[in-house]
Amino acid sequence: MRALVTGAGGFIGSYLVRELSMQGHNVTALCQAGSATQHRFAKGVTLALGDVTEPESLRKACERQECVFHCAGIVSGYGAWERFFKVGVEGTRNMINVASHAGVVRFVHLSSISVYGTKPCGKLYTEETPFEENPEPWNHYVRQKVLSEKELWKAHNEEKIQAIAIRPSLVLGPGDRNVVRGTLSLLQSPLAAIIGDGRNRIPCVVIDELVKTIINAASNEYAIGKAYNLSGRESITQLEYMDLHAAAAGLKPLRRKVPVSVAQLACSMLEGMYRIAGREEEPFCTRIALAFAANDFNIDCSLGIRELAWQGRASYEEAITRSVKWYLSS
């Protein structure tokens, strides 16, 4: 197929471009001018410069495409809501409208399990679980993901595009500068600690396995109009997750534990200090990162198993080791 990947300069987008190309698809990688220089795409991949906040910059890239894989968005737990809304929500609306006008039929949207919120306590979350309509005032990431997916289904119901939503868990693998940076920074901090008792499940998915299934979803008619949770089948606890990162980086494992309420206060104060100082970069520990680390997630992926041949068997240990080694050498 002729496929356009937005956010192709990012972690998941770049893997998706590579896998599509390896499978023999005709791929156009849409990047912002700044991120495009950081990647060397495979021979045969067409590079298009554009910004989802500027519709006119998207039109040429959408010409003659059959499918859009929309990976662009704000991957952060920190910053002003205006930025999340402009890129994640309005950017999704812009991309859908331009793609539809250009005659693109299929639209695969990279969403997240965070559409269900970040306060689960072991309850099973299926694709039928309602969106989190009232996230915490600071939780712009969840709000962005919920509103952008609503844009997707609105367009689908209006028959502008044939929509598919992919809702992955925390994505592991080399190339990620977000999760691994925060985890290693926390491990090296004098404030480092396990939140609660550390036995809660952290939902994870390995990047290589994820992108293959995203492409599989785009190629199947029965996936149209559906959302799919994608998470690894084996559970990994917060304690195991932190131990694997510590081992890969040659750091001491964490054994000190703090109550969730204390950690929440510390993260809130840290974010406040960054705002007061006018620092734009994300703190090493944010309230949304804490929410993913401290809550117990139970994600149902049976629909993906039945319809997309989802396996979810890739090794977390191998993915984390590769991710840490890549990050420390980059």
Does residue 240 sit within a domain? no
Query: What pLDDT was estimated at residue 36?
Result: 54
Does residue 183 sit within a domain? no
Query: What pLDDT was estimated at residue 177?
Result: 86
pLDDT digits (tens, 9 = 90+) for 31-53: 988 665 556 788 889 999 999 99
Q: For residue 84, what are the contacts with CB-CB under 8 A and spacing of at least 6?
A: 74, 140, 141, 143, 144
Do 170 and 202 touch, CB atoms closer than 8 A?
yes
Distances (CA, A) of 92 to 6, 7, 96, 147: 10, 11, 6, 9
CA angle 89, 93, 96 (to 5 degrees): 140
Query: What pLDDT was estimated at residue 42?
Result: 81
pLDDT digits (tens, 9 = 90+) for 170-209: 999 999 988 899 899 889 988 789 999 999 999 999 999 9
Does residue 275 sit within a domain? no
Assign residue 148 the CATH number of its domain. 3.40.50.720
Structural domain range at position 22: 2-173+204-233+300-313
Does residue 255 sit within a domain? no
CB atoms within 10 A of CB 199: 11
Query: What pLDDT was estimated at residue 29?
Result: 96
CB atoms within 10 A of CB 44: 10
Residues of the chain with pLDDT under 50: none
* Nearest partner of 307 among 185, 224, 242, 206, judged by Cα: 224
Does residue 51 sit within a domain? yes
Query: What pLDDT was estimated at residue 37?
Result: 53
Does residue 63 sit within a domain? yes
Does residue 180 sit within a domain? no
Per the structure, how many domains does the chain have? 1
Query: What pLDDT was estimated at residue 35?
Result: 64
Does residue 90 sit within a domain? yes
